[in-house]
Amino acid sequence: MTTDSRKIALLDLDAFFAAVEVLRDPGLANVPFAVGGGGERGVVATANYLARKFGVRSAMPGHQARKLCPQLVFVKSDMAAYKDMSMQIRKRLLEITPHMEPASIDEFYLDLTSNTLCRGSASLTMEMIRGELRSMGVSGSAGISNQKMVAKIASEERKPDGQFVVEPQQVLAYIAQLPLGKIPGIGPKSLQRLHSMGLNLGSDIQNYELPKLQALLGDKAGYILHQRCRGIDLREVITSRTRKSVGTEETLHQDFTSLRAVEQYTERHLFPSLKRQLKISRWQEARIKTQTVKLKFNDFQQTTVSRATTRISASIFYSLLREAWDRRQNRAVRLIGLSVTLPDPDSAKQLELELE
């Protein structure tokens, strides 16, 4: 089967946390509100569309959101309720097709290539799904194409509660007119480098030489961006995933200005939390690939430091904390995070097969 014959959809639930909150309190339907913290240290998790008209966005500090929209109502998040609704939707999607991949709590890839519902039409099937979502009290937008990347971008075209189709023969032209900032995976620094070279649209990458792009972004990132902008995305919808990493992070009640305070908080709060998530009592019980520390500073910039190792070591975490701390440039720390990446459970088996 060629990629041109695939039918890949991305279903993106609209302002999902806010939609669940309206189900719980219908009185919120006609007021601008945000889910998250509205205090000095709070952050917006999501906002309903009334609040978005004032410029309120996810990841925005709560105090900034209040300045933009003084009448904004803040609702404390309830992840258990959001996960419950997400699981109900996942269950229904699996009844429609077994080829479903949750990309997040509110995003789902569907491979509808072999779908026989609605006369085999991916567009009609997604319209049916979106109609069922409305009956559940939430809405979703969909992008449909022959590949994941374009389906994801297309899901933003008709928000909220709409859908957009990019046929295989339209993919190259569709990507050509896209601002590069809309390509998933391009971060602010990479985008700045691209813009500095006069590369602003998908068409610019389509006409740019691969070696030059790799020199600009690195071999891997340059190759992937070059492929994606040329309409090549062979990734399949993955119906089962192995957990690749485990992490924990905390926004502090007040900014830390000393390394000792960061270390003490990590030891007292984050170490026990990470052990609980890994379901271990001693660090030596877990096999891993890397350890990572993340610090977010009071200007909301962040840094991460990683080290490869096969067993978790508290001393490595402390070393990584010090390295990250040295990058603070006199900024205070507002968030600390720890994570580990886990080994591929099939890697040993693959090695054995290669040696036989």
Q: In what order do the strands lie in the sheet with 302-308?
A: 245-256, 333-341, 290-297, 302-308
One-letter identity of residue 352: E
One-letter identity of residue 153: I
One-letter identity of residue 251: T
Q: Which of 21, 107, 167, 236 is catalytic?
A: 107
Q: Measured between alpha carbons, how far apart are the two ends of the chain, in Å?
A: 32
The set of residues, in sequence order, having a beta carbon less than 8 Å from that of 15 and lying 6+ positions away, is: 46, 47, 48, 49, 52, 160
Dihedral angle sign, alpha carbons of residues 133, 138, 143, 149 = negative
Q: With CA atoms as reference, report the closest residue to 210 among 200, 197, 223.
A: 223
Whether 352 is a known active-site residue: answer no
CA 113 to chain centre: 25
**C-beta separation of 111 from 97 below 8 A:** yes
DSSP state of 344: P
Q: With CA atoms as reference, report the closest residue to 202 among 236, 177, 228, 182.
A: 177
- Which residues are known catalytic residues? 107
